[in-house]
Each structure stands twice: as structure tokens, then as C-alpha cells.
Amino acid sequence: MDFRRLQAALTTPTDADIPVVPTAGMAELPEIAEFVIAPAACSAEPPSSRGPSYLAMSDRGMGNYQRLQRRLLAATATATALAVPLSGWFFGGPTALSLLVGGLAGLIYLFLFSRSVSRLGDDRKSVGKVQLLVPVVLVLAAARIPALEILPALLGFLLYKPALILQAVLDR
């Protein structure tokens, strides 16, 4: 374990003066914890009272999350925009229409899920369940509307998964 990277990840710009303690073994771990873990991170105070550096770090984290959210939505829309013409070329119009409807449902699902995740915090402890209605409505619509096919609609819905995998690979 590289303690310098751990310390850099846990410290704020105001804590940059803390010296890095070299370690020879695991016996020194309790002494290192005093230097590595910031006292504000161990306090039982609410996040708003931890100081401006904590709030700035939180704002930076939300900014990063919002950028990731936009990238995921854009990657899903791009995957849908590429898959629909290809499926229309190879399989015909009804399949392409079903894939488009499924892709739009996947975009709505991803948007609702990311909005629910961004609302997590002190007052909300779990993710909402509204986004789970999207695939149910998609399957019901594909079963009721004769122009839609169920399998291409579900595959279109799952187009958000390659976008997630692509973002995970690109973020490494």
C-alpha cells in the first residue's frame, strides 16, 4: 500500500503541509493514522460544520459527478444514434423503431437513476424506485403496440450498459 498516494487522496489543499511518514512495517500503522486521517474526517459533526475546505471538496465531487452524468448520457445517446441506422439497414424499419424506443427508454432510465443518486445525502439514505418503472412500461408498450418488437426494444434499453463500460475503461 502506498501511503503517499493515500495521504494525497485524503488531504485537502490546506492540509498539504502534513509530512509523509515513511513506514517500515505494519506495527507503525496506528501512529500513521494520526497523520493520514484528517481530524475533520473523524469528527461526529455534520458536514456543513467541518469548514470551507470540506464544502469545497464536496462541491468538486458533485461537479465531477455531474460531468460523469453528462458523459454517460451523451455516450448512451451516441450508442443509440449509431445502433438505430445499423439495425434499420440490416433488419428493417420495425426493428430500428423498436431499438430507438428502447434506447430512448434507456436514456430516461439513466437520467432518472442519476438524478436519484445525486439526491442522496443526509436526508435521503436510499435511491428512489421511479426509474424501475421505465423497463416495465417499455415491455408493456412493446407488448401492446404492434409496430414494436420486444427483443429489439430491450436491447435498445440496454444500450446504456456499453456506455457505462466505456466510461469505466476511459476513467482508468
Instruction: Indicate if 158 and 133 belong to the same structural domain.
Output: yes
- Comparing 46-55, 88-97, 105-114, 121-130, which segment has the lowest mean pLDDT? 46-55
pLDDT, one tens digit per residue, over 74-110 is: 999 999 999 999 999 999 999 999 999 999 999 999 9
Instruction: Indicate if 37 and 68 belong to the same structural domain.
Output: no
Considering the entire predicted model, what is its pTM?
A: 0.64
Instruction: Indicate if 30 and 74 belong to the same structural domain.
Output: no
Instruction: Indicate if 78 and 37 belong to the same structural domain.
Output: no
Instruction: Indicate if 36 and 81 belong to the same structural domain.
Output: no
37 pLDDT tier (thresholds 50, 70, 90): very low
Q: Could you write out the DSSP letters of every residue in 79-143?
A: HHHHHHHHHHHHH-HHHHHHHHHHHHHHHHHHHHHHHHHHT-SSS--S--SGGGHHHHHHHHHHH
In the structure grid, which three cell numbers stand for residue 95, read together? 426493428
The number of folded domains in the chain is 2
- Comparing 26-40, 80-94, 108-122, which segment has the lowest mean pLDDT? 26-40
Instruction: Indicate if 105 and 154 belong to the same structural domain.
Output: yes
Q: In which domain, by residue range, is 159 found? A: 49-171
CA 15, 16, 19, 23 torsion-angle sign:
positive
The pLDDT assigned to 111 comes to 93
Res. 48: pLDDT tops 80: no
- Comparing 42-46, 80-84, 109-113, which segment has the lowest mean pLDDT? 42-46
Instruction: Indicate if 143 and 79 belong to the same structural domain.
Output: yes
Instruction: Indicate if 153 and 91 belong to the same structural domain.
Output: yes
Instruction: Indicate if 72 and 151 belong to the same structural domain.
Output: yes
Instruction: Indicate if 145 and 69 belong to the same structural domain.
Output: yes
Q: What is the mean pLDDT of residues 139-152?
A: 95
Instruction: Indicate if 79 and 147 belong to the same structural domain.
Output: yes
51 pLDDT tier (thresholds 50, 70, 90): low
Res. 33: pLDDT tops 80: no
Instruction: Indicate if 123 and 79 belong to the same structural domain.
Output: yes
